[in-house]
Amino acid sequence: MASRGDARPWLRRALLIGAGYAIVGVLFGTFGSSFVSSRSWRLAAWMICGAMYAAHIGYDRFRLGASPPATALHAAVAAGAGGFGLAVAAAVHSLLSAAPDRRLRLFTLALVVWPIVTGVPAYLVALAASAVLAPMKRR
Q: pLDDT digit of tens for each residue in the chain (139 aa)?
A: 444 555 579 999 999 999 999 999 999 888 766 665 777 888 899 999 999 999 999 999 999 989 999 999 999 999 999 999 999 998 888 777 766 656 777 888 899 999 999 999 999 999 999 999 888 755 5
Other C-beta atoms lying within 10 Å of the C-beta of residue 91:
17
* Helix pair angle (68-96, 104-133), 10° resolution: 160
**pTM to 2 decimal places:** 0.85
